[in-house]
Amino acid sequence: MPEVLIVTGGGRGIGAATAILAAKRGYSVCVNYLERRAGADCVVATIEQGGGRAIAVPADIGSEDGVKRLFETVDRQLGAITALVNNAATLESQMRLDQMDAGRLQRTFATNVIGSFLCSREAVRRMSTRFGGHGGGIVNLSSSASHYGSPGEYIDYAASKGAVESLTVGLAREVAEEGIRVNAVRPGFIYTELHARGGEPNRVDRVKTMVPMKRGGNPEEVAAAILWLLSSEASYTTGAILDVTGGR
């Protein structure tokens, strides 16, 4: 049975690294994106140049209709999904809670939390033996912010990642007998474009001294952990949250 993977937010950063590594390991890959088509197309081109199979599919994962269209497109073009990486996430400018409005909170939770729930739901409906599927794997992207709270910067983002961890543990137990393993990776300070969205592109360089290894991580290092959790080498691992934090 061919392996088919959806990576949400797959056009850049950890998502792009995951999509490219997965293709090298034999997955057909759907690279989901919201607005940055050029980045997603570049990832697809890289995969195809390496002899792999990939498609780029636009979808707002914070929208139920958007998620349904994403999965239906994969059904038609790549076949039955066997793996999902809930990577897409957003954050906004660094500020204290007393400066935040409801719109910001709704945007953050729509993508980071509701999107992960909706995509996981569609994956379960396709992969679970309860519904005639053949099993599969889900890996959610958390963040070390879920532990430290990111005070004065983005506690809303940190809280959303705490919700993702609860989803991981609960869903893992819910579908453990249905052939689906659900795990999460908890990255630390990783060199990605997400920090620029918070208003500090060089944030990793500022905070890396807080890490025992005294450096930031690369997207490829997180991707390797994700692919291990999806692989048969992790066949007895579900409900786990794997730190990729340099020891922090």
Query: Among the options 27, 33, 154, 157, which is catalytic?
Result: 157
Q: How far is 238 from 105, CA to CA, in rounded Å?
A: 30
Q: How many angstroms separate the CA atoms of 206 and 127, rounded? A: 42
Residue 236 a catalytic site member: no
Please, is 35 exposed, middle or buried when counting C-beta atoms within 10 Å of its C-beta (0-12, 13-18, 19+)? exposed
Determine the Cα–Cα distance for residues 192 and 202; give it in Å rounded to an integer: 10
Is the distance from CB of 29 to CB of 22 less than 8 angstroms?
yes
Distance CA 232, CA 168 (A): 19
User: Longest Cα pair distance anywhere in the chain, in angstroms?
Assistant: 52
The residues annotated as belonging to the active site are: 157
